[in-house]
Amino acid sequence: MKKASDPPQPDPQDALAALQQKLAGLGESSMRKSYYPELQERLEELERFKALLDHSNESIFLIEVSTGRIVDLNDAASRQTGWSRDELLQQSLFDLSNLQQSPAAEALVRSPEETGSVRMLAVTELHRKDGGRFPAEITLNRMQFRENSYVLAVARDITQRKAMEEALRESEEFLKNIVDHIPAVVFAKEVQGLRFVTINKACQEVFGLSRAEVLGRTNYDLFPKEQAEFFTKMDRETLAKGELVEVPEETITTANGDRILRVKKIPLFDNQGKERFLLGIAEDITERKQLEEKLLQSQKMEAIGQLAGGVAHDFNNILMVILGYGSILLNEGALPARQKEQVEQIMNAADKAAKLTSDLLAFSRKQVIKPATMNLNDIILHVEKFLSRIIGEDVQLKARLAPRELQVDVDRGQIEQVLINLATNARDAMPKGGLLTIETSSLQIDEAFVQANGIGAPGPYAVISISDTGVGMDEQTRRRIFEPFFTTKIVGKGTGLGMSIVYGIIQQHNGFVNVYSEPQLGTTFRIYLPFSEKSADRALEPQAPDTPPGGVETILVVEDEPDLRLLLQNILSGAGYRVLLAENGQVAVEQYAAGARGEIALVLMDMIMPGMSGKEACHAIRAIEPAAKVLYTSGYTMDIIKSRDLLEEGTELLMKPVRPLELLKKVREMLDR
Ligand code: ADP
Ligand code: MG
């Protein structure tokens, strides 16, 4: 025995030696004979026991508490640490491991009294002779043997288990990474309470919630009641069926607004074939749905436009026949008064029908447009007065125009038509009065805007926003306003063509219209017109204020209103022109005839004057000089704006009140033709 005290389970080798000593002391052979088999048996038992310990895969150490020394160990301890038995017997368990990092283990092994637990499991590292270390799980067992306290330490090498755990963790991480990066919403719920147990990144984004806010919650915790009921119903249905169920469209209300999802729900089974989880894979189709709707809408408009255009075209021919024969009948002169009146009624009705077909043609884009490059702000300034007359006294009109020029290629008359139609609708929407705001601005439209709205092409645009504080529209109405003949107004009040004409005109100008409306709050229309190519480069740069262009040519001003005549004279002579004045058409024609040929470079003439009208005067002047240039000015009546199409070659129309700069520009432009 190497030690003073007896270990509780002596080394079998030592035990054998001790037995042999005892046997040697036995004198009597008879005694020896009767003891021997029993001893032999005990010996074998001990040897078996030792072999058992030595062949164990676990290192076993016996530690004496009073000294802290290892007092016995098995073969596996040497095998695993690389130290010989003798070397190990020189060390303490704390030299051999990282156990000193565990206060509980320290207490269990080192405290002289038995305090607290007598048994514990610790995961630590064992040190090898070659300097290496390996992870080990150690069971410490404190026990009393005779007068002494011992700790039996059984250490198991867990390198492999650790490696497997690590591999498992890595593969879990890998899978989690994959699931997180799938560009689809992925979630799983346990089947009992349908509580979320997993969600991926896309799911967090769509829900607008963090993992912590979702895990452990049910549909009812996260979504409005009706939605939660529907989701739960589909979840249960999927589990009952035991196979994939597809929900083509479901709306979820989230912090980020409503999202539309296409969802596949799949039951997941355990080894016994029992449902454990419900897996959900969903695609956020909100944007796609919106684009599809826009596309459908524009296809519908296209089709309706073609149909309307076709009908209007044929109808026009029929109307020409009706109107043609009608006027022949009227000109006959032989008709009795009563019948003449009836034919006139027919003609009136046919005229109205002709107006309708021309509106339809405007919508179906079959009307020819005559675009010219001009500043959108000027167009609005022109019609502003007229618009305020349309909307009446109870509605206030406010115009806020962009400080810079918004050069666009447009048919002025048509853009004016658009503004008139919008103002008319605004008036109808504000029977008790309100505010109509017209704003202009510029906007650089990028690819993202085009994608998000499904309209237009990238580039610089001029924008007109027209807002009213009227009754607004609900979603259903809003979807249909551009359809020809769609109206919510009483018979006789609305034709349902106004907005379809707006749509047609803007389309034809390569622009687009947006509408925003809230019932009871009002409506805003936004019209986007592409900047003129000619000015696109400088379109978005601030512009220097214009200096009015002038000249030295002779201009004949024909105006019956004396104050206005004087004003025009001042403006024109101020810009260097020589100015001749006439107070009516008759005088104008005489003046023109008196002048030398080509002396009068331009006639500036009011369209409506007492006596000879502007148009008649123009005809007379043209009889003298067919190439005479005539610029009309006009007050604001719808008819005059409409009659613009009837203007002859070499004539133009300016609307009153004519602004000086505008006038000078137009004059210069016409002189330079
Ligand atoms: P109409 O004015 O003849 O009814 P429109 O094509 O101009 O035809 O307009 C169609 C419909 O769109 C209107 O009947 C109305 O319901 C709706 N609408 C258009 N503009 C507005 C607006 N500013 N406010 C409210 N509703 C409007
Ligand atoms: Mg209308």
Q: What digits encode the pLDDT tens for the residues 222-249?
A: 999 999 999 999 999 999 999 999 999 9
Q: What is the pLDDT of residue 579?
A: 94
What are the residues facing 246 on neighbouring strands?
Answer: 264
Q: Residue 377, SS3? A: helix
Q: How far is CA 115 from the centre of its chain?
A: 67
Report the candidate in 293, 223, 294, 232 with the shortest Cα–Cα distance to residue 265.
232
Q: In this structure, which ligand is nearest to the CA of 495?
A: 1
State whether the beta carbon of 422 lies less than 6 angstroms from ligand 1. no
The Cα diameter of the chain in Å comes to 174
Q: What is the mean pLDDT of residues 111-117?
A: 73
Q: Of residues 563 and 108, which shows the higher confidence score?
A: 108
CATH code of 372-539, in short, is 3.30.565.10
Tell me whether domains 56-159 and 182-284 share a fold: yes
* Residue nearest atom 27 of ligand 1, based on CA coordinates: 425
Three-state SS at 568: helix
- Confidence band of 101 (pLDDT split at 50, 70, 90): confident
* 498 Cα nearest atom in ligand 1: 7
C-alpha distances in Å from residue 241, one per residue of 267, 278, 617:
9, 12, 88
What ligand has the least distance to the C-alpha of 434? 1
- For the residues 567-595, what does the mean pLDDT come to? 89
Does 323 or 642 have the greater pLDDT score? Answer: 323
The CATH class given to the 56-159 domain equals alpha beta
How is the chain split into domains, by residue range?
A: 56-159, 182-284, 292-359, 372-539, 554-671
* Architecture field, domain 554-671: 3-Layer(aba) Sandwich (3.40)
CA gyration radius, the chain: 50
- Which residue of 499, 506, 527 sits with most ligand 1 atoms within 8 Å of its CB, as the best mutation to test the pocket? 499
Given a cut of 80, whether residue 9 has pLDDT beyond it is no
Taking only the tens place, the pLDDT of each residue in 646-664 is 466 777 877 655 667 778 8
CB atoms within 10 A of CB 324: 11
Assign domain 182-284 one CATH number from 3.40.50.2020, 3.40.47.10, 3.30.450.20, 3.40.50.300: 3.30.450.20
pLDDT band at 324, cuts 50/70/90?
confident
3-class secondary-structure state, position 281: strand
Q: Which residues of 426-442 are buried (b: 16+ CB within 10 A; e: fewer)?
A: bbbbbeeebbbbbbbbb
List pLDDT tens digits, range 255-296.
888 999 999 999 999 999 899 999 999 999 998 888 888 777
Q: Alpha-carbon distance 22 to 10, whole Å?
A: 16
Cα separation, 63 vs 443, in Å, equals: 85
CA of 457 to the centre of ligand 2 (A): 28
SS (H, E, C) 599-645: CEEEEEEECCCCCCCHHHHHHHHHHHCCCCCEEEEECCCHHHHHHHH
Q: What pLDDT digit, counting tens, does each position of 625-639 carry?
A: 988 999 987 654 434
Centre of ligand 2 from the C-alpha of residue 470, in Å: 14
Write down the pLDDT at residue 542. Answer: 41
